[in-house]
A and B are shown apart, each in its own frame.
Chain A
Amino acid sequence: MKLTATLLSATALTVFGLPAFAGSHMADSMTLVSWGGAYQKSQHNAYVVPYLKMNPGVTITWDESSSEAVPKLRAMNEVGNVTWDLVDAEGPDAIRLCDEGLVIEVDHDKILADGDDGSSPSEDFGDMIISDCHIPQIVYSTTFGYRTDKVGNRPPKDVCAVFDTRTYPGKRALRKSPVANMEWALICDGVGIEDVYDVLATRRGQDRALNKLATIKDDVIWWSAGADTPQLLADGEVVMGSTFNGRLFSAIEEQNQPIGMLWDWQMFDIDGWVIPKGLPPEREARVLDFLKFATDTQRLADQSKWISYGPARMSSAPLVGKHAELGIDMAPHMPTDPENSKNTFVQNYNFWGDYKDDIDAKFQAWLAQ
């Protein structure tokens, strides 16, 4: 495919002559990597469609490999052939990629557009900038949904309902990863919210969290794709399950499933772009051009028309409007809405950047036993 692209552009050069390219010095094709599904669709509608309208000569290809971004980027780096131009990555992955030097560090103030209210990018994104390599797009949360028809007249209000199999019998869906599960386990084991990461940094604390999870191990269906939990809830296979809040939104509002939201101690996470290291200059120039456009105030606000994730820029918040197809107000469905964010847990990225290897090794061995 690459060869074909090269041949095609070579042909284009000879047919249309050089002037068409003069002055741009940007590659005319780009491969974006994201998560597929509704999320990628929202990015496509909000960023790519208007960008292509402005730049008719450009082709953009989507690759749905973000869940394997770290190993694939590492392999590309080892071989010395980077085929991706811009990669959507979760906070901890971005930190890890940055630590390993697989993605480039950027100066947010230099490469991004100012906010519509005139604030500089670093002010506008504020705390959302968690790494020098990561350009934030949205805030989402990992939280629980439950079957409204299976909890009787006492819908769960507390995240510890997940560990309460007596009141809420039935299976639960949890992500096949220690992130978030370990924190919830400690909270429900009586650890104070401000101590969670201190406890989790110790070997004893890790065992404590696993022991708490062990109390429901037989009742858990472990998921690895974001679409699993909504499906399991819709089928009635599980009584409650964790997933990304946007997935639950579409199951509830777009597919009218009998699912309720349990926002208690939702786990905030930030998703954003990283730029692979080793891009040729003309491709990097194209990426930076796209990035500046795709992360401006209006584009981030537009994205929330398609999915219930909060824009990472403060200046985008007032522009969040109604759902593009359903016409409902999006603000009450955002994880950042005051009504939803009474108890929120902000994932400690640096902690997970440092401890993911350690704890994941333990967690996976625990799972396999």
Chain B
Amino acid sequence: MNDQSMKAAMERGDGPMLAADGTPLKKSLARALRMQKIRALLLVAPLLIFVLLTFLAPIADMLFRSVENQIVSETLPGTTATLDDWEAGEGLPPEPVWRAFYFDLFLAAEAKEHTRLGSRLNYEFTGMSSLFRGAGRGIDDIGEDQAAAIIELDPRWEEGGFWHDLMSGTGDADVRFLDARRDRLERLTGDRYDGDIGFSPGAAVVDLLPLTARAYTDWALYTVLADGDAVIEVTPWEAVPVALFLDLRAADAAAVSGYDGPGRGDLFVAMLAARSSDPIDFRQSFIDLDEDFAIPTIWETIQTYSNRFTPGYFLNAVDLQLTPDGVSARDAGQRIYIVLFQRTMFMSLLITFSCILLGYPVAWILANLPMRVANMLMILVLLPFWTSLLVRTSAWKVMLQQQGVINDTLVWLGLVDDAARLVMINNQFGTIVAMTHILLPFMILPLYSVMQTIPPSYVRAAKSLGATNMTAFWRVYFPQSVPGIGAGSILVFILAIGYYITPEIVGGTKGVFISNRIAYHISASLNWGLGAALGTILLAAVLILYWAYDKVVGIDNVKLGG
């Protein structure tokens, strides 16, 4: 664009403002800014990606565990589906639930997933873990008679090849059925179940013997892909003959006699045997295995926790529990988390105030001494800061214990009787003392850097105008140091709320924080869901307090340095 047209446009006073190269100024500016933004983004990209991958993603994943609850429906899909029709409070569930439970648990026990489910349900109702472990061991016994009975009819029922031919049938293979079973196993174990297994269930067999087809296909998939055996060489596990007897009892006799696939004669003989024998009473079999199965709460717990997502962990974290009748308080013996949250908050506040009380004079002296002396003294503040946390905590142990330095000194001075030494450790006092000491530098450093910027002339001016020392300090100096107190307090409080090593070592049972419970659930009880829920609540509490602080004091007033 030439000068003239620009001039014309400017004279007219309309049209876009143009840049030197003729593009509209707005566009040109936006392009320049965009380039800048992209460059800036590229510069921070390595850090951004690093933080996202190594910090935010794991945190999000961990927090997700606080509501995730797929394990129940993935381990016991049949049971949870049949339990839907059962109303809690009606005593024990009906036979179809027990039957579905048998097949679910059988497969889970073979894949060794039942213990995990037992541990999971044990968080909600103590006793479920041992129940599931015991049942997993004993479940083979339930189908024993059926497995023996069928082999008595004809020893061929023990042959893998015979079963293979029977279940393959003659007609089309039901590929969708096979894939559905693959999915089922993948969800159960978390492993992949791809690949050829040398077997595909015949559509006609699936129609005629649905339970058997399911049990056999599960077995075939597991045998080939997890155990690495060939289907035709191994006798199917007990759940398969159990399913066969159930199918043959339920099937239409005409359909069985009209079936024309391989093994039809044996099938017919087996049907007669199945119909003349007593059916398995699954409920009684499980109660014989462990009488705890007769406790309705067991089934109510499974039903209540059959959803893929659950508020259960969060309720647990605030001493509540989910029951079929809604939310209720936990037993008195299990209510510990509210107390721990309160204790954590209270003690963290106490530690923060102790740090202000002890740190303020130190920072004031440092800020008002000549630089050389101040730097020397600063080393004394920083030295413990650079020392290992464990060393400092252990040192407090030596100081505070009953045969420790402080007690020895007091006894030597005659202030305390040898028989009545003070208990200063393994309680709240120990935690507060040790943590105040450990967190003190985090208070002193921001205070010091703020105080350094307060000109001494202000206090002098106040005094020359007639203020007393106290007034000059309180009305002039202190208000200017408040941003340092704010910064120090936020640092100390947020660090204190999440501490766990120090309370673990010096806190005994009464001086521990909620973080110790989180650590316990992550590394000892393996209740990661509850640990994540507690962690989420703690994180939310910190964010809310931070927000409240911003509203009341204003985050702009926080200064970490001059």
Contacts and interface: CB of A to CB of B under 8 A. Distances in A.
Interface string A98-109: 011100000000
Interface stretch (A118-126, A307-315, A352-360): A352-360
Contacts of B119: 357
Interface in B110-157: 111-113, 115-116, 118-119, 122-123, 126-130, 133-134
A357 B118 contact: yes
A353 B504 CA distance: 26
A364 B518 CA distance: 13
B526 A361 contact: no
A180 to B, nearest CB: 16
Contacts of B401: 235, 237
Contact of A362 (B116, B126, B523): B126
Interface string B343-354: 000000000000
B356 to A, nearest CB: 30
Contact of B333 (A96, A101, A362): A362
B426 A358 contact: no
Interface stretch (A1-9, A17-25, A67-75, A265-273): A67-75
Nearest to B332: A369
A215 to B, nearest CB: 16
A357 B122 contact: yes
Interface in A324-369: 353-358, 360-362, 364-369
Contacts of B524: 71, 360
A353 B402 CA distance: 38
Contact of A357 (B129, B339, B509): B129
B230 interface: no
Given A100-B115, A366-B333, A71 B522 contact: yes
Given A68-B523, A237-B402, A354 B126 contact: no
B509 A367 contact: yes
B333 A74 contact: no
Interface in B403-423: 403-404
Chain A CB within 10 Å, residue with most, of B133, B333, B512:
B133
Nearest to B112: A101
A8 B341 CA distance: 49
B402 to A, nearest CB: 6
Contacts of A201: 130
A236 interface: yes
B15 to A, nearest CB: 60
B340 A368 contact: yes
Contacts of A357: 118-119, 122, 129-130, 525
B549 interface: no
A222 B509 contact: yes
A327 B133 CA distance: 47
A221 B129 contact: no
B403 to A, nearest CB: 4
B523 A71 contact: yes
A358 B403 CA distance: 37
Contact of A358 (B126, B334, B404, B526): B126
B520 interface: yes
A292 interface: no
Interface in A201-238: 201, 203, 221-222, 224, 235-237
A237 B407 CA distance: 12
Contacts of A74: 526
Chain B CB within 10 Å, residue with most, of A221, A222, A236, A361:
A361
B525 A361 contact: yes
B504 to A, nearest CB: 8
Interface in B379-410: 401-404
A80 to B, nearest CB: 9
Contacts of B426: 221
A365 B334 contact: yes
A191 B520 CA distance: 31
A203 B127 contact: yes
B517 interface: yes
Interface string B517-550: 1001011111000000000000000000000000
B508 interface: yes
A146 to B, nearest CB: 16
Contacts, number: 77
Interface residues of A, number: 33
B273 interface: no
B336 interface: yes
Nearest to A169: B419
A361 B123 contact: yes
A237 B339 CA distance: 29
Interface in A46-83: 68, 70-71, 74, 78
Contacts of B340: 368
Interface in A156-208: 171, 201, 203
Nearest to A207: B333
A71 B333 contact: no
Contacts of A361: 122-123, 126, 525
A356 B524 CA distance: 11
B123 A71 contact: no
Contacts of B508: 221-222
B133 A99 contact: yes
B403 A99 contact: no
A259 to B, nearest CB: 15
A269 to B, nearest CB: 18
B192 to A, nearest CB: 11
B333 A358 contact: no
B403 A100 contact: no
Contact of A364 (B113, B127, B525): B525
A210 to B, nearest CB: 9
A354 B111 CA distance: 18
A358 B130 contact: yes
B523 A354 contact: no
A71 B336 CA distance: 23
A358 B336 contact: no
Contacts of B190: 78
A100 B117 CA distance: 10
A70 B116 CA distance: 12
Given A99-B133, A237-B401, A368 B525 contact: no
Chain B CB within 10 Å, residue with most, of A221, A357, A365, A366:
A357
Nearest to B516: A368
A99 B525 contact: no
B134 A99 contact: no
A115 B113 CA distance: 36
Nearest to B504: A224
Contacts of B509: 222, 367-368
Nearest to B403: A236
Nearest to B189: A101
Contacts of B123: 361
A364 B517 CA distance: 9
B127 to A, nearest CB: 5
A91 to B, nearest CB: 15
Interface string A285-307: 00000000000000000000000
B134 A364 contact: no
A365 B128 CA distance: 17
- Return the 9 tightest CB-CB contacts between A and B, nearest first: A357-B129, A101-B112, A354-B130, A368-B336, A236-B403, A99-B115, A354-B133, A357-B122, A71-B523
26 contacts: A71-B522, A71-B523, A71-B526, A99-B115, A101-B111, A101-B112, A101-B113, A221-B508, A222-B508, A224-B504, A354-B133, A355-B129, A357-B118, A357-B122, A358-B122, A358-B126, A358-B128, A358-B130, A361-B126, A362-B126, A364-B520, A365-B333, A367-B509, A368-B339, A368-B509, A369-B336
Given A68-B523, A221-B426, A364-B525, 18 more contacts: A70-B526, A71-B523, A99-B115, A101-B111, A222-B508, A235-B401, A235-B403, A237-B402, A355-B129, A357-B119, A357-B122, A358-B127, A358-B128, A358-B130, A362-B126, A368-B339, A368-B340, A369-B336
Interface of A: 68, 70-71, 74, 78, 96, 99-101, 171, 201, 203, 221-222, 224, 235-237, 353-358, 360-362, 364-369
